[in-house]
Amino acid sequence: MYQIIHRNGLAKRARLITVHGVIETPVFMNVGTAAAIKGAVATTDLKDIRTQVQLSNTYHLHVRPGDEVVKKLGGLHRFMNWDRPILTDSGGFQVFSLGELRKIKEEGVYFRSHVDGRKIFMGPEESMQIQSNLGSTIAMAFDECPSSVASREYVQNSVDRTTRWLKRCRTEMARLNTVEDTINPHQLLFGINQGAIFPDIRIDHAKAISELELDGYAVGGLAVGESHAEMYHILDEVVPHLPSEKPTYLMGVGTPANILEAVSRGVDFFDCVYPSRNGRHGHVYTNRGKLNMLNAKYELDDAPIEEGCGCPACTHYSRAYIRHLLKAKEMLGMRLCVLHNLYFYNTMMEEIRQAIEEERYQEYKAAKLQGFQENDK
Ligand code: GUN
Ligand code: ZN
């Protein structure tokens, strides 16, 4: 059940109630592709950094260790010791990024494993079966994410097929949720809007999928090479055609600024590898923009990454120490930067929720964006 608590312009403050607990939105989901957040972050760390939802990947877990293995071990929640919500991406996007290794047909996609080269087939039914074996809280529909440079004709055909796939996903998920030994009989299904940079194709698709009464709706195929302005324009066009009383998820996005802009356009779920990937490279987010912790100017800097930050890195360690760890290639350096970055994102989402409730979202957003520019000039 999705309860809208407050609206401020198009921004929504809401709450998704699931069998694995409540998700307060807008939310940033922390990416753990292969059932682990990269940077040696354990699920036992996540409560300290205020993670609400962990995101994992159908394709990766199917290839290794295998979704049947995870099911035998009681499902993904038990396997990785995380009792709060998990969203699994459907595998569509990852398969499509394999490029030459794949072939798309009406029934699904034929491709080779990136691990051992073995041939695999995944269609809508297979994706739902894998996600059901994992027992995630929210399953994503199996979609094709067409290239941002694909022709209009290619994109139209692809989107039509994605709609047919979505209907197959819905039928299969309804069946799986009633199977006797299913891990999570209340698994939710979100559909995904596609259409590259063609607003009319996207709008028609948004209208078609809105009729299917899914548990939530994602906008996919963005942040794949188009400009930020183009992405915001697509959101302006498309989000009003998705049901605003349901969760709206912008997949794979993005920078803190992207999130602030998308929230004001009605988006309330996000995920992105940036905080963990940048953290592994010693790049950390602050309210005054990104810092490179490898920079020589931090050699004797006894201050935390960000003054006042309550994360496990800033409460205990200095910039100088973290810089030393990164220089010495100690794993702890990466880990502290990743924890700080995820805490930064999760805390920004808390501020966003509060600002919407207090009807000062636009002022909050403007001040936050201005602060970020201080180090990015
Ligand atoms: N992650 C980021 N973009 C996409 C998309 O278009 N589809 C899916 N399934 N996952 C994504
Ligand atoms: Zn911190």
- Ligand nearest to the backbone CA of 87: 1
pLDDT above 60 (res 377): no
d(CA 193, CA 209): 8
Q: What is the pLDDT of residues 300-337, one digit of tens each?
A: 999 999 999 999 999 999 999 999 999 999 999 999 99
Which is the closest atom of ligand 1 to the Cα of 140? 9
d(CA 220, CA 277): 21
Is 122 strand, coil or helix? strand
d(CA 76, CA 96): 24
The alpha carbon of 231 and the centre of ligand 1 are apart by a number of angstroms equal to 14
CA geometry: angle at 252 spanning 250 and 255, to 5°? Answer: 95
Q: What is the pLDDT of residues 335-357, one digit of tens each?
A: 999 999 999 999 999 999 999 99
- Ligand nearest to the backbone CA of 293: 2
* Residue to mutate (ligand 1; options 128, 145, 159; most atoms within 8 A of CB): 145
92 close to ligand 1 (CB < 6 Angstrom): yes
55 close to ligand 1 (CB < 6 Angstrom): no
252 close to ligand 1 (CB < 6 Angstrom): yes
Amino acid 66: pLDDT:
97
**Number of neighbouring beta carbons within 10 Å of residue 213:** 10
221 close to ligand 1 (CB < 6 Angstrom): yes
Amino acid 265: pLDDT:
98
Inter-residue contact 107 to 158 (CB < 8 Å): no
Look at ligand 1, atom 4, and give the residue with the nearest C-alpha.
220
Quick one: average pLDDT of 86-112? 89
What is the overall mean pLDDT for the chain? 96
Amino acid 287: pLDDT:
98
Inter-residue contact 343 to 310 (CB < 8 Å): yes
For residue 93, report the phi and psi dihedrals to the nearest 5 degrees.
-60, -40
Look at ligand 1, atom 5, and give the residue with the nearest C-alpha.
220
CA dihedral for 118, 95, 248, 358, sign (positive or negative): positive
d(CA 63, CA 34): 10
375 confidence band (pLDDT: 50, 70, 90) = confident
The alpha carbon of 12 and the centre of ligand 1 are apart by a number of angstroms equal to 22
157 confidence band (pLDDT: 50, 70, 90) = very high
d(CA 289, CA 370): 9
* Residue to mutate (ligand 1; options 88, 93, 159, 217; most atoms within 8 A of CB): 93
C-alpha torsion angle, residues 228, 233, 238, 240 (rounded to 10): 120
Q: Residue 361, Cα to own-chain centre: how many angstroms?
A: 22
Q: Residue 233, Cα to own-chain centre: how many angstroms?
A: 20
- Ligand nearest to the backbone CA of 89: 1
DSSP class of residue 199 equals: H
d(CA 239, CA 219): 8
**Active-site residue numbers?**
89, 271
d(CA 179, CA 191): 22
145 close to ligand 1 (CB < 6 Angstrom): yes
The alpha carbon of 172 and the centre of ligand 1 are apart by a number of angstroms equal to 20
Q: What is the pLDDT of residues 39-69, one digit of tens each?
A: 999 999 999 999 999 999 999 999 999 999 9
Amino acid 376: pLDDT:
62
pLDDT above 80 (res 101): no
d(CA 14, CA 9): 14
3-state DSSP percent of the chain in helix, strand and coil, to 5: 45, 20, 35
Task: State which residues have CB under 5 angstroms from ligand 2, the bound ion.
Answer: 305, 309, 311, 313-314, 340
Is 337 strand, coil or helix? helix
Query: Model's pTM, two decimal places?
Result: 0.98
Look at ligand 1, atom 8, and give the residue with the nearest C-alpha.
93
- Ligand nearest to the backbone CA of 279: 2
Nearest C-alpha neighbor of 313 from the set 281, 346, 279, 289:
279
pLDDT above 70 (res 173): yes
The alpha carbon of 56 and the centre of ligand 1 are apart by a number of angstroms equal to 12
Quick one: average pLDDT of 76-81? 98
d(CA 292, CA 313): 15
Question: In this structure, what token pair is assigned to residue 2?
Answer: 């999705």
Amino acid 204: pLDDT:
98
CA geometry: angle at 205 spanning 199 and 207, to 5°? Answer: 105
